[in-house]
Structure formats: structure tokens, C-alpha cells
Structure 1
Amino acid sequence: MRRIRANGIDVNVAIAGAGPAVLLLHGFPHTWRLWAEVMPHLARHHRVIAPDLRGLGASTRAVGGYDAGTLAEDAECLLDALNEPTAAVVGIDAGTPVAFLLAMRRPERVRKLVVMESLLGALPGAKDFLRGGPPWWFGFHAVPGLAETVLTGHEAEYVDWFLDAGTLGRGIPQEIRDEFVAAYTGSDALRCAFSHYRAMPTSARQISDAVATARLTVPTMAIGAHPVGNALERQLRPIADDLVAHLIEDCGHIIPLDRPRTLAALLTPFFA
């Protein structure tokens, strides 16, 4: 574990192994511990870098900067601070737009890109997934001050709902669950978490602007499970030069903890 100054914040980051760098970007309601069961597989041949995103876990609870573009700058500055000129970059959930924008804006820094279980702004291709509207919590989290006021004192129950749904009822290791709950307890921790959602309109504009002027040239893998499925692949297919896609059966949204061995088996040969 290290604390690294990057882009004006202190980033809490776990580092394991040696070799070509792999940068792992988590989502909500997670911390770097989302990758705990995948990191040992990757660390056999790679230097694995797993930060807490801005405002989350033990990283700085910043006032602003929760749009995907700024978070991509955080990631690039972290690589700079660790003397890594390039990395394979993996994003899931809220980490996916971040990884995508880093690859679009700085393709020379991203050797391979893996994105999972998320959508990329308003790019075409997600119509079927969004037919019933976006997930209910997007609107709840987006209202400034509301969710953190309502949920303070009930953080454990709320986080548990996502962890249960995200593993199709199987749950995650108790120690990691407890760390997630602790990381999202308190009004300021919740404010930072929901700031990622409140920045989504800005992130969506950044994504649209990026694809309006360039294609995704980095070799890319899209991985789907439940509930996003192949919606992300459909968004990427028209704009990516080199795309492979996989759908993991009987797997919840939290792929790295629900099916870590399956995920590792996809990532290892792709990075090689």
C-alpha cells in the first residue's frame, strides 16, 4: 500500500508484482479491494496497480473533479508518479468511462484496454439495455444532497443491496464487504461517491467529444455479465479498430469478485 500524490490529490494505491504495468480502476460501491482475488493471478507477470478512485476509499475526498476526464488525468498522473510510461488499463462500472477516455486521449499510454459492465455516455448501442430507463439509483444519486442525507446511518444496508445484486445473491468475502461498508460510511464519503454520478452529464459530453474526432485504436476487450450484457460491446463496435468481446454466463455485475478465476483467464492471455 502506498499514498501517491497525483493531479493534486493523494491516491491510495495497492501495488503487487513486477513486469509490464496493469492499472485497475474500480467502480461503486467498491475500493481497490474489488480486485483482491484477481491481483494474485496478474501479479505473476505484471506490476499491478490498483488505486482507490478520487474521493473513494482512502484517497482524497476532493471537492470536485469527479468527471471521467479529470479521473483519467488522475490515472495518467499516477502512472507518471510510478514511472510507468504505459499500462494495460482495466475499468469496471464507474472506472470504465475513465479507462476509455484515457485510451482515447492518450493512446500511447495504454497498451491494452479492458472495459466491463458499464455504458459509455450516450453512445449508440445501448438502446435495448435502456429500454426501461436507466437504473433507478442513477437518478437518486444525482440529486445534490439528497442521497447522503437519506442514507446516513443506513450505509451498510445500502451497500449490501448492491453487493448482493452484483453477485446474483452469492455475496462477497466478509472481510472485503466490511471494508466496502466502512469506505462508504458517513455523509462526506457518500457525497464523494455520489459526486461521480452527478458528474455523469459532463462525462457523457467528454465521451461524445472524444469519439467525434478520433477512433479507439487501442486493442480493446469488452466483458459483459448481468445486467449490462453486450450493451457495452455494441457501443464500442462502430468506433473501435481492434475489439474482442466476451459475455460471462451466470455472473453478476461485480465480475472481479463473483467470477475472479474466469476474469483472470480472460485477462492473462489478452495482456500477453
Structure 2
Amino acid sequence: MIEKIDFDRTFSHHMAEVNGVKLHFVSGGTGEPVVLLHGFPQTWYEWHRIMPALAERYTVIAPDLRGMGASSKPTSGYDHQTVAEDIYQLVRHIGLGRVSIVGHDVGAPVGYAYAAAHPDDVRRLVMMEGAPQTVESGGYWHMGFHAEPDIAESLIVGRERMYLSWFYRRFGYNQAAFTEDDLDEYVRWYSAVGAMRSALQYYRHAQQDFAQNKESQKQKLTMPVLAIGGEHSLGSYVEMMMQDFASNIRGSVIKDCGHWIAEEQLEELTRQLLAFLSE
């Protein structure tokens, strides 16, 4: 079992201005640094149950990505390379060197972009339920919906709780993975002025991201990469996608799990991360 600790005594909240944006991040622990990059529609809080176990061995940094959570919400800069540069400059601002990166959902291709731009500064990379792409390959209907300017936020704003609760259920296997407290936390941040508009920008830079990835994949990553998928979500697809971008890959499909791995299979994910990061 994951031991409970006093989260507020172990971790602290900070703000940093880097790359023209103010980023909120939570940090704690000691040891080699591990950066946790959340997905949509989430914030740093996605990792709050796993951070204590990691902090026993590592310095943990969990930022809110540009446009999400308590980070500022500019009108531009939501392509993966720019967001990765945000995180790179944050790591430098904190005074850290080489890091391991764990990314989930949109945080995964951001983590890849970081590793592709600064390969000597990344020890290990974990890609969870997300991977860079070089061609548009369809996908779930919400990706096209979110990519439509104005109309998507017009239909969601004011109905955030309904939309987010549906979203978590729709892409999860364990329907009880998100508690009411979890939902309250995310609704609080995604109901803020400009929050949904900013978050949806990640879906509106797909063509730019495709072009960036096509260029980056000319030089495959050589650091160890762990590609994780949920059995009832992307499964082995994450590993398959990463074959085009990295040469030292291992795959993992977590059973009885959908898209929300940190919530649905906390203990198994913790076990795999600690084993991979400590090699």
C-alpha cells in the first residue's frame, strides 16, 4: 500500500516567470529530479497521490502547464515545443540539471519535445497514454471538437462540471477513480476566466506539432523510454508510436485500466515508475 504522509509538510507551491509565462509548480523530496507533466483536463493535482512515494527517493517537480491550473493563460504558445521550453527554463530556474520526465496525455508529447530538444539533459522518459505524431490520424471525436475555435468553449463554459465528469467517465475503466474532491479541484480551475479557452489551445496546434515532430524524429532519442498504456485505452499503441521516435523503448500495458492511470492503478504505476527510474 502507498503510505500516507503530510502532503503540505513535504511539498510546497511556487511561482516562476520563465519563457514569458508564469508557471505554478509544486515541489518536494530529495534526490535526482523527476518532472511530472499532467494532461487534459487536469493540473499538477493529477500526480498528488503518487508524489509522496516518488519524493522518498527523488526531487519531484509537478508544474501546471501553460494555460492550465494556476499558471498564466497567454493567448499563444501552445505548441509542444514552446510548452517544452517553458518546462526546460523552469528546470533551469530551479537550478536543476539532468532530469527524468514523466508525461501523461498532452504532457507526454511535451515531454518528448523536451527530450528531443535537450537530449543530454534527460536521463529517462516515461510516456503515458500519449505520444508525438507526424500525421493526422483521426482519433476520438473530442479532438476535432476541441480544435474548433470559439464553439467548443462556448458550449462547455458554464457546464464545466457536467463536461469534466463525463470526460473522466468516458475515458476511464474504473468509474470510481475520480472522487468528488478530485472533481471539485478540477472544476475550480477549469471554471476560471480564460481557463477552458487556454486549455483547448493544445488541440489547435496539431498541424504545427506534426511538422515539429516530423523534423525531430530524424534524430531518434537514445535515453531509456518507458511507454505505458491502459489496457482499456491506448494499450500497446503508445509503444508502437514511440518506435518512430526512440531507439531504447520498453512497453507496458496496465491491466484493468483506462486513460487515467495515476487515478485508476496508482499502486501499479508507482511500482513501475520506481523500478524504471532507479535502474
With the shorter chain as reference, the TM-score category is over 0.9
The residue that corresponds to 1:139 in the other structure is: 144
The residue that corresponds to 1:265 in the other structure is: 271
The residue that corresponds to 1:82 in the other structure is: 94
Q: Distance in 2 between matches of 1:267 and 1:14?
A: 19
Q: 1:231 aligns with which of 223, 228, 237?
A: 237
Q: Which moved more, 1:45-54 or 1:177-186?
A: 177-186
CA-CA distance at 1:176 after TM superposition: 2.1
- Which amino acid in structure 1 is aligned with residue 257 of structure 2? C
Q: 1:13 aligns with which of 19, 22, 25?
A: 25
Q: 1:92 aligns with which of 93, 104, 107?
A: 104
- Which amino acid in structure 2 is aligned with residue 47 of structure 1? T
With normalisation by structure 2, the TM-score equals: 0.91
The residue that corresponds to 2:58 in the other structure is: 46
Q: Distance in 2 between matches of 1:201 and 1:4?
A: 29
CA-CA distance at 1:167 after TM superposition: 3.0
Q: 2:220 aligns with which of 215, 218, 232?
A: 215
What do you get for the CA RMSD once the two structures are aligned? 1.4
Asked if the contact 2:161–2:183 (Cα under 8 Å) also holds between the matched residues in 1, the reply is: no
Q: How many equivalent residue pairs?
A: 264
CA-CA distance at 1:40 after TM superposition: 0.7
Pair 1:35 & 2:47 matched = yes
Q: Distance in 2 between matches of 1:105 and 1:119?
A: 16
The residue that corresponds to 1:180 in the other structure is: 186
Partner secondary structure for residue 134 of structure 2 = coil
Q: 2:36 aligns with which of 1, 8, 24?
A: 24
Q: Distance in 2 between matches of 1:182 and 1:112?
A: 33
CA-CA distance at 1:170 after TM superposition: 2.1
CA-CA distance at 1:270 after TM superposition: 0.9
CA-CA distance at 1:87 after TM superposition: 0.7
The residue that corresponds to 1:67 in the other structure is: 79
The residue that corresponds to 1:241 in the other structure is: 247
Q: Distance in 2 between matches of 1:87 and 1:97?
A: 16
Instruction: Give deviations 1:200-223, integer Å, cap 9, x for gaps.
Output: 2211211111012x1111110000
* Structure 2 unaligned residues grouped into runs of 5+: 1-12
Pair 1:117 & 2:123 matched = no
Asked if the contact 1:184–1:190 (Cα under 8 Å) also holds between the matched residues in 2, the reply is: yes
The residue that corresponds to 1:194 in the other structure is: 200
Asked if the contact 2:217–2:244 (Cα under 8 Å) also holds between the matched residues in 1, the reply is: no
Asked if the contact 2:131–2:242 (Cα under 8 Å) also holds between the matched residues in 1, the reply is: no
* Structure 1 unaligned residues grouped into runs of 5+: none
Identity %: 36
Q: Distance in 2 between matches of 1:147 and 1:238?
A: 32
Asked if the contact 1:24–1:49 (Cα under 8 Å) also holds between the matched residues in 2, the reply is: yes
Pair 1:101 & 2:122 matched = no
Instruction: Give deviations 1:16-62, integer Å, cap 9, x for gaps.
Output: 21110000000100000000111011000000000000000000011
Q: Distance in 1 between matches of 2:107 and 2:245?
A: 19
Q: 2:155 aligns with which of 129, 144, 150?
A: 150
- Which amino acid in structure 1 is aligned with residue 229 of structure 2? G
- Which amino acid in structure 2 is aligned with residue 145 of structure 1? D
Q: Distance in 1 between matches of 2:197 and 2:169?
A: 22
CA-CA distance at 1:236 after TM superposition: 1.4
